[in-house]
């Protein structure tokens, strides 16, 4: 990734008043969390249909919980990497700089990740598009708790009503929460700079926000190890590790 590109990105960031960032599994890769589509990716060991769809859960809740217990353990030992920390620092600098409390936030992260590492790094304005691995929901009474042990019994049952518990994440074929969709769209409409970091940009509707930003003619900066569909519409694509590039952008 060239130095001029870094300078151009820094200039765009310096000018922006409302930055929205879409992140994917790539920002957590340097924290030791497996991505989905890389060689040793998560989906290699399991088929999406079996472990990340409602029918997969109906067919074999034990298999699904072994998969999510494995990811809870990985997320529990993971710590934020320099990429997460740079994003949290950028937000805090913007919050300091923001004089009047304007309607739209100066900085917002839309994350596809469920590991909670952005929040752990200190990011305050984080919208979890696909839920959280730390939240567990009852399929019967809808109770929602985050105080279960890292490894849940397989399969776990609700101690209030005895129904099966499930991870509070959005599986394929499930709709994202209406409120989440509305907030993500509002943020994208109010942005004057859109960053896309560590995502293969194939999963919808998350991948639609950078394109919505590009249609509004605002600059889109992509940071990734490889080109993605977003690269076609990005103002700048910085190729490299987010943990290396993001600290340079501060
Ligand atoms: C919906 C939560 C409608 C769970 C996830 C056909 C059949 C069925 C469905 C569909 C279909 N066609 C389209 C769909 C819709 C489907 C979809 O988009 N499918 C894709 C596969 C085509 N979408 C849905 O089903 C969504 N819901 O459409 O509902 C509806 C409407 C009304 C009523 C009912 C239904 C729900 C999608 C959410 C699925 N849940 N996660 C969990 O995590 O366990 S998706 C999951 O995969 C992640 O959340 C994330 O979104 C996605 C993974 O993508 P990435 O994060 O991008 O990760 P990936 O590994 O792919 O890429 C990593 C990138 O980082 C790479 O580019 C790599 O180069 C880069 N990288 C790696 N290391 C680094 C790096 N970059 C920088 N630095 C590094 N160090
Ligand atoms: Zn219950």
3-state helix, strand, coil in the chain (%, to 5): 40, 20, 40
Question: Position of tokens 């042990």?
Answer: 149
Q: Per the structure block, which two tokens stand in for 61?
A: 């809740």
For residue 204, how far is its CA from the centre of ligand 1 (angstroms)? Answer: 7
**What would the pLDDT profile of 187-240 be if each residue is shown by its tens digit?**
999 999 999 999 999 999 999 999 999 999 999 999 999 999 999 999 999 999
For residue 114, how far is its CA from the centre of ligand 2 (angstroms)? Answer: 22
CA distances from 140 to 64, 87, 160, 229 (A): 18, 38, 9, 39
Res 102: pLDDT: 63
Q: Which superfamily does 1-32+80-130+176-250 belong to?
A: TPP-binding domain (3.40.50.1220)
Q: Per the structure block, which two tokens stand in for 233?
A: 């519409």
Q: Per the structure block, which two tokens stand in for 21?
A: 């960032």
Confidence of residue 119 (pLDDT cuts 50, 70, 90): very high
Is residue 61 over pLDDT 80?
yes
Q: Looking at 88-210, which runs of residues are DSSP E strands? A: 107-111, 126-128, 131-138, 144-145, 165-169, 193-197
pTM score: 0.96
Residue list, ligand 1 pocket, CB within 6 Å: 24-26, 29-30, 35-38, 41, 52, 112, 114, 130, 169-175, 198-200, 202-204, 206, 223-226, 228, 241-243
Q: Which of the residues 18, 84, 118, 130 is marked catalytic?
A: 130
Ion ligand 2 contact residues with beta carbon within 5 A: 138, 140-141, 158, 160-161, 163
Element spanning 239, H or E: strand 236-239
Q: Give residue limits of the domains in the chain.
A: 1-32+80-130+176-250, 34-77+135-169
Res 68: pLDDT: 96
Res 128: pLDDT: 98
Architecture in CATH for domain 34-77+135-169: 2-Layer Sandwich (3.30)
For residue 18, how far is its CA from the centre of ligand 1 (angstroms)? Answer: 25
**What would the pLDDT profile of 70-116 be if each residue is shown by its tens digit?**
999 999 999 999 999 999 999 999 998 886 666 678 999 999 999 99
For residue 208, how far is its CA from the centre of ligand 1 (angstroms)? Answer: 11
Query: Residue 38: helix, strand or coil by DSSP?
Result: coil
Rounded Cα–Cα distance for residues 223 and 225 (Å): 7
**What would the pLDDT profile of 3-45 be if each residue is shown by its tens digit?**
899 999 999 999 999 999 999 999 999 999 999 987 777 777 7
Res 110: pLDDT: 99
Rounded Cα–Cα distance for residues 247 and 182 (Å): 30
Using the atom order of ligand 1, give the atom closest to the CA of residue 114: 43
Cα-Cα end-to-end distance for the chain: 16
Query: Known catalytic residue: 168?
Result: no
CA 69 to chain CA centroid, nearest Å? 19
Alpha helices, DSSP H, located in 121-236: 178-190, 208-215
What is the DSSP pairing of strand 165-169 with strand 131-138?
A: antiparallel
Q: Would you mind telling me the total number of residues written for the chain in this entry?
A: 250
Q: Name the residue of 118, 173, 178 whose CB sits within 8 Å of the most ligand 1 atoms, as the mutation to test its pocket.
A: 173
Res 101: pLDDT: 64
Q: Per the structure block, which two tokens stand in for 15?
A: 């000018």
Answer whether 1-32+80-130+176-250 and 34-77+135-169 agree in fold.
no
């Amino acid at each position: 990734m060239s130095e001029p590109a870094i300078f151009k990105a820094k200039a765009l960031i310096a000018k922006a008043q409302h930055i929205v960032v879409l992140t994917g599994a790539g920002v957590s890769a340097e924290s030791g969390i497996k991505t989905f589509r890389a060689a040793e990716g998560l989906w290699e060991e399991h088929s999406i249909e079996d472990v990340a769809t409602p029918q997969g859960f109906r067919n074999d809740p034990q298999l699904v919980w072994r998969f999510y217990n494995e990811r809870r353990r990985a997320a529990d030992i993971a710590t934020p990497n320099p990429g997460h920390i740079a994003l949290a620092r950028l937000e805090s600098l913007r919050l300091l700089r923001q004089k009047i409390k304007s309607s739209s936030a100066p900085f917002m992260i839309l994350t596809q990740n469920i590991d909670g590492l952005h929040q752990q790094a200190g990011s305050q304005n984080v919208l979890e598009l696909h839920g959280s691995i730390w939240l567990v929901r009852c399929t019967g009474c809808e109770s929602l708790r985050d105080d279960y042990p890292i490894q849940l019994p397989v399969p776990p049952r609700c101690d209030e009503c005895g129904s099966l518990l499930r991870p509070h994440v959005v599986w394929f074929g499930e709709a994202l929460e209406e409120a989440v969709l509305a907030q993500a769209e509002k943020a994208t409409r109010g942005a004057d700079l859109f960053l896309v970091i560590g995502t293969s940009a194939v999963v919808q509707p998350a991948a639609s926000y950078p394109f919505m930003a590009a249609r509004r003619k605002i600059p889109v900066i992509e940071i990734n190890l490889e080109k993605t569909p977003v690269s076609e519409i990005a103002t700048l694509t910085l190729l490299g590790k987010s943990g290396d590039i993001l600290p340079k952008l501060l």
